[in-house]
Structures are given as C-alpha cells and as structure tokens.
Amino acid sequence: MLEIMSRRRSIRKFTPEPVPEASVEALLDAGLLAPSGRNARPVEFFVVRDKATIERLADCREGHSGAALKTASLAIVVTARPEKSDIWAVDASIAATHILLQAEVLHLGCCWVQVMTRRCGPEMTEGAVRKILNIPADLSILCMIAVGQPDEAKEPHVLEGLDRSKVHYL
C-alpha cells in the first residue's frame, strides 16, 4: 500500500483516450467501499463523461485545478447528504481518497479539484457545479476528481523524504 501511496501524484494533463468502463466501475466501487462515521453512508457520486460538460465544470475553478479538468475524459463529483452525517465532508474526503488510490492501481491519472469553500468568479464553485449538473440542494459538494489516461509523468514520493518531525511519540 505504501508503494501505491508514494506513486500517487496529481496529474493535470491527460490524453484524449477514454477511461474504460471497467475502470470507472472500479473507481466507484473504491469510493463506495470507503468507511463513514457511524456507517451513515452519506456520500454520492456524479459521473460525467461528456467532454463539453467536463469543460464547463473546469470553468468553475481557476488555476491548476480547473486546468486538470480541461483535458480529463472523466470527472467524478463527490457529494454527500449533510442530514445523514454531521461529518459529511470527512466521509466524502475518505471516499475521494479511495478513488484517488484506486486510480493509481489502475494506472490512471487523477487530480482532486476542490469545490467546497472555493469561488467561481462572483459565486461559489459549489453553486456553479450544482447548476451545470442539476445536483439537488440536499447534497453538498466536496470536490470533483479529474480522471484520465495520464499525459505527464511525475516521480514518486520517497519514504526517505518524509518529514518525520511531524510525528510525535508520547
């Protein structure tokens, strides 16, 4: 598992090749397998394959994050129902992380694109994404995950480079 984690990097450039359906299902299975507080299971996913829609979603974020969606062939929007869990953002973060790690196992590139608390021009990114995808108001949006066949390579992280001063033994 540490090897997979060390290889997982944010990829922001993708080839036009689509993500195979079996891989999409494996990514979603990983997200659905994620634990949640009190097993409330508040997390839901919106899977976007339409290139024009993904490009519209990219316009909801500026900078590096939005750029990752520009060439992605798949976007997974991670949402949750706050009425099911007061820690919905934590539950959704765990599910998103499971998807990111599964993408690495499948040799796919991916990048977390933050939605919650981010702006899209004069409005919040969440509102812009909600309008584009017609996401119901009772779902809160945490992030979008840009996914595709990687068109860039990054060196893995090395265990020797970890900042062990952040670990405190008592």
Instruction: Identify the structural domains of the chain with CATH numbers, from first to last.
Output: 11-151 (3.40.109.10)
3-state DSSP assignment of residue 128: helix
The answer to whether 37 touches 85, Cβ cutoff 8 Å, is yes
Q: Which of 6-15, 63-72, 88-97 has the lowest mean pLDDT?
A: 63-72
Output the pLDDT for position 120. 87
pTM of the model: 0.97
64 has a pLDDT exceeding 90: no
CA 22 to chain CA centroid, Å, is 18
3-state DSSP assignment of residue 78: strand
How large is the average pLDDT for residues 139-159?
Answer: 97
pLDDT band for position 158 (50/70/90)? very high
- Determine what percent of the chain is predicted with pLDDT higher than 90: 94
Within 13 A of 103's CA, how many CA atoms are on the CB side?
Answer: 26
3-state DSSP assignment of residue 145: strand
pLDDT tens track for 4-24: 999 999 999 999 999 999 999
pLDDT band for position 31 (50/70/90)? very high
The chain-wide mean pLDDT, for the chain, equals 96
Higher pLDDT, 61 or 8: 8
Taking the C-alpha atoms of residue 121 and residue 78, their distance in angstroms, rounded to an integer, is 21
Output the pLDDT for position 27. 99
Output the pLDDT for position 20. 98
62 has a pLDDT exceeding 80: no
99 has a pLDDT exceeding 80: yes
65 has a pLDDT exceeding 80: no
